[in-house]
Structure 1
Amino acid sequence: MNTGKVDVSELTTAERFSLLNKEVQAKYAVDPHRDVDQIPLAELSPEHPSLFQHQSMFKYFARLRKEDPVHRTEDSMFGPYWSITKHQDILDIERNFKVFSSEQRYGGIQLAGKPYDEEGVDPRFNLPMFIMMDPPKHTAQRKAVQPMFVQRSLKPLEPIIRERAQAILERLPINEEFDWVSEVSIELTSQMLAILFDVPQEDRMLLIRWSDAATNNANPELFSSVEEAFKELWQCFEYFSNIFEKRKASTTPGHDLISMLAQSESTKEMPPNELLGNLLLLIVGGNETTRNSISGGVKFFDEYPDEFERLTRNPNLVPSAVLEMIRMQSAIAHMARTATEDTEFRGKKMKKGDRLALWYVSANRDEEVFQQPDRFRIDRENIRTHLGFGYGIHRCVGYRLAEMQLQILWEEILQRFKRVEIVGAPKFQWSSFLHGITKLPVRLQHK
């Protein structure tokens, strides 16, 4: 039950985005182990990060899909909002981007975002990026980096990914406990990020740190305040600004992401905060879904060892298995949208300015779309309908690369290991934006 008198709407952008305000934390504390069926429907609110940290949110979403799939929460740590929990409803809203906007000035793509007057916002926290833009600017900026992720550009990356995956797996200890997240998931994604940005491999963990600062600055284990996190983000700008200017001045077209931004007419003259915003978008996009789906795959195969045996017997199912990992993990738990006008959706009247959470983590377990949705099944027939990469104009631009990394890694795992056994409780991220695994103790059995 909520207690206290703090008004979330009166918080600054920094306070609301960080969620580190102690009054807010106290008012909106939840018991993640509470029986969901005993909560009155009007009070059912699935957005609290503690529910995700304890993996309690699935029961909340299952009830909402059944009883109130377009659900209004009047009071939360993010303010009032609508939960969109069904697969088809999310598709319909994503298609209607003129009415349901992702624009930053309305609040952007996270529930923690706050609408603001562009002239009055603290510039330290104003980081425009193309995922928080509507067409036509979104379209032009997305096109700047899209060539990196087409098939002809990805093909040369395949042997590089395989070589790096092999090296990572070969150095892992056998029959000894270690953390899969740090030794494999983060290692592969960080190495590939350094390649995509064409920066030294020894700097790769800076990219992971900046990804955490952009998406997980509410975690007191990582940052003492939002100001600390944003100081680190501006260090990211300092790191890349000289690189950007040098590649902008180059007469030879580059094939890395920085060069593409620096040489495109739509992005080469971006102001500093917009350059930083788009850099962070590409860093986070190249990190979170791949990293957490790699970790999630290990977890799901540990829970369903029969599926691992099936995959061992039939490695041709690796591409399908990878998509099932992405569906089950749903590394991006939600994307937020804002109603740009009064409208009605599924019989619910929404007002201009209303915030919506498109819960991909719920839609990917929609019983009307996926048979036995909570079960991990590597040969799921309609797996391509998953929303692990979003949908519509804002679908993840690098989804093919993410799939390629996962496929290659699991091909190499199958050749080496009889089993990847989880030997301790996984730890999950305190976030309802990202559905992440932060620790995964495992032990390997060699073939």
Structure 2
Amino acid sequence: MDDGSVDFKQAAAAEAWRLPIEALDPAQPELFAGDAFWPIFERLRKEDPVHFVDSPVYGPFWSIAKYNDIMAIDTNHQVFSSADGIVLQTLEAKAESEKRPRGQSFISMDPPGHDVQRKTVSPAVAPANLQAMSPLIRERAAAILDNLPIGEEFDWVDLVSKELTAMTLATLFDYPQEDRRQLTFWSDMFTNAPGHGPAKSWEHKRQEADACFSRFTELWNERVNAPPRFDLVSMLAHGPDTRNLGLTDYHSNVVLLIIGGNDTTRNTISGSVYALNKHPDQYRKLRENPDLVASMVSETIRWQTPLAHMARTATEDFEFRGKTIRAGERVAMWYVSGNRDGEVIENPDAYIIDRPRPRTHMSFGFGIHRCVGNRLAELQLTIIWEEIMKRFPEVVLAAEPTRTHSVFVKGYETLPVVIPRRA
């Protein structure tokens, strides 16, 4: 880490503890890009775990910082609705989105609509299908790793994390493998603000969204007129509860499935390399006992927390931990903070790959909106690490990563590494 980033973190920490508590605002993408947001949540957990913010960028919202409070809200879909969207939107983004017709994906719905649409696509990530996909994922992971350069620096995000997740996502959509990185590109277009990632402007984002929707409309039209197949588009096109979806609702589900199938796994694959390098004692432990891979995967999902928050909207006035959340107010559940709550997770800032209960984390959410593809994410992570351990004694961090400029996707744009030698 260069001195500039150290200075930035120190200044951000000083600011987090100096400001009056009512002035604390965790929704600052610059702090996430600089990995400098942690002191804000540490203070909120201690002093004001249900915290009102009047953000000049995102508008007013409540920040929920502690594990059990987040779980209480996440499981109360009757009071805390997803219908107004599941992420904090900047005021600028909200104004842009209102210029175009908006659809609803099932993650932005409440029951009963949510339940029937989720049920339509869930067979794609059910245990039987994961078992069937496992050999293919392993074969691809092996090919990716066998083609990596030895003894020279490369970007792990590009050559490994993006590649494996794009291949798997293309399989789920039955999308041409040769075009798989279009899915990665579109995911980054949807999740990045203009000026960050590949998004150059709002107009650029609109153009690429239209290109994505046009391609997936073609796929719908192909598959709705063909016999049902076991891919996500065909499932939606033939499902009794989804075959009459409006076009904007179908497109919204496509966006959800592209982002959901990409970001969580991709950023945890990168985060695992980073975490093990930052905790060499844990990397040594893993080398000495490769059976810890599954436990390490769960610990990394907690430690990384690839999606920093989810948002809800109160449907009625609600008393919560001594505060009144009014009907219509937005609520941000900061999973990234809940995963560092020492009242639930012992020594939460430490990275410990053999924790007694490594699946005690909230990275996949709770309740009806719990991540539908969580087992597929774990499967890809487990397989890639089983294959890494067969091939490479270590993957060495060559420089600090560049991180995503976002308060939603907590990830890595680049992760420079060197593999010194093969096993």
Name the TM tier (shorter chain).
Answer: over 0.9
Q: Give the distance between the partners of 1:33 and 1:376, measured in 2 at CA.
A: 21
Amino acid in structure 2 at the alignment position of 1:150: A
Moved more, 90-99 or 225-234: 225-234
Q: Give the match for residue 206 of structure 2.
A: 230
Aligned mate of 2:247, from 263, 268, 272: 272
Within 5 Å, give how 1:29-428 maps onto structure 2: 32=12, 34-104=14-84, 108-112=85-89, 121-124=98-101, 126-251=102-227, 253-428=228-403
Task: For residue 316 of structure 2, give the secondary structure of its aligned residue in structure 1.
Answer: coil
More displaced 10-residue stretch of structure 1: 232-241 or 32-41: 32-41
CA distance in structure 2 between the aligned counterparts of 1:33 and 1:315, rounded to whole angstroms: 37
What residue ranges of structure 1 are gaps of 5+ in the alignment?
Answer: 1-30
1:431 aligns with 2:406: yes
Kept in 2: contact 1:146–1:397 (CA 8 A) = yes
In the TM superposition, what is the alpha-carbon distance from 1:114 to its structure 2 partner? 6.8
Name the counterpart of 1:24: none
CA contact 2:312–2:332 (8 Å) conserved in 1 = yes
Amino acid at match of 2:316: E
- Alpha carbons of structure 1 residues 221 and 243: separation in structure 2 relative to 1, 3 Å: closer
Q: Is the 8 A contact 1:213 1:230 kept in 2?
A: no
Tell me by how many angstroms 1:317 deviates.
Answer: 1.1
When residues 132 and 115 of structure 1 are mapped into structure 2, their CA distance, relative to the original with a 3 A threshold, is farther
1:21-36 to structure 2, matched below 5 A, reads 32=12, 34-36=14-16
1:55 and 1:116 map into 2 onto residues whose CA distance is 23
Partners of 1:382 and 1:275 in 2: CA distance:
38
After superposition, the C-alpha distances for 1:76-126 in whole angstroms (9 at most, x for unaligned) are 31011110011100111111111111103xxx1111167999xx94334x1
Distance of 2:332 and 2:230 partners within structure 1: 35
Query: 1:1-42 CA distances to partner (integer Å, 9 max, x unpaired)?
Result: xxxxxxxxxxxxxxxxxxxxxxxxxxxxxx746532112111
- Partner letter of residue 419 of structure 2? L
Distance 2:78 2:417 in 1: 46
TM superposition shift of 1:158: 0.5
RMSD: 1.8
Tell me the alpha carbon deviations over residues 178-217 of structure 1, each in whole angstroms, 9 at most, x when there is no partner: 0000010001101111111111111111101111121113
Amino acid at match of 1:154: L
1:348-397 superposed Cα distances (whole Å, 9 cap, x missing partner):
01111111100000001111111111111111122222111111100110
Alpha-carbon separation, structure 2, partners of 1:172 and 1:216: 28
- Gap runs ≥5 in structure 2: 1-10
**1:60 Cα deviation after fit:** 0.7
User: Residues 331 and 434 of structure 1 are in contact (CA less than 8 Å); yes or no, is this contact kept in structure 2?
Assistant: yes
Letter in 2 for 1:89: D
Which whole-Å deviations, capped at 9, do the CAs of 1:35-59 have from their partners, x for residues lacking one?
A: 3211211111111100100111111
For 2:40 and 2:284, the matched residues in 1 are separated by 32
Q: 2:417 is paired with a residue of what secondary structure?
A: strand
The whole-number CA distance in structure 2 between the counterparts of 1:406 and 1:357 is 28
1:71 is paired with a residue whose SS is strand
Cα displacement (A) at 1:230: 2.2
Change in Cα spacing, 1:433 to 1:100, as seen in structure 2 (3 Å) is same
Structure 1 residues 414, 56: CA separation in 2 closer, same or farther (over 3 Å shift)?
same
Q: Which whole-Å CA distance do the structure 2 matches of 1:97 and 1:140 have between them? A: 16
TM value normalised by structure 1 = 0.89
Report the TM-score when normalising by structure 2: 0.94
From the superposition, tell whether residues 130 and 390 of structure 1 become closer, same or farther in structure 2 (CA, over 3 Å).
same
Give the SS at the match of 1:337.
strand
CA separation in 1, counterparts of 2:16 and 2:417? 31
CA contact (8 A) 2:189 2:197 kept: no
Cα 1:199/1:75, change in 2 over 3 Å: closer
> In the alignment, is the contact (CA less than 8 A) between 1:219 and 1:430 conserved in 2?
no
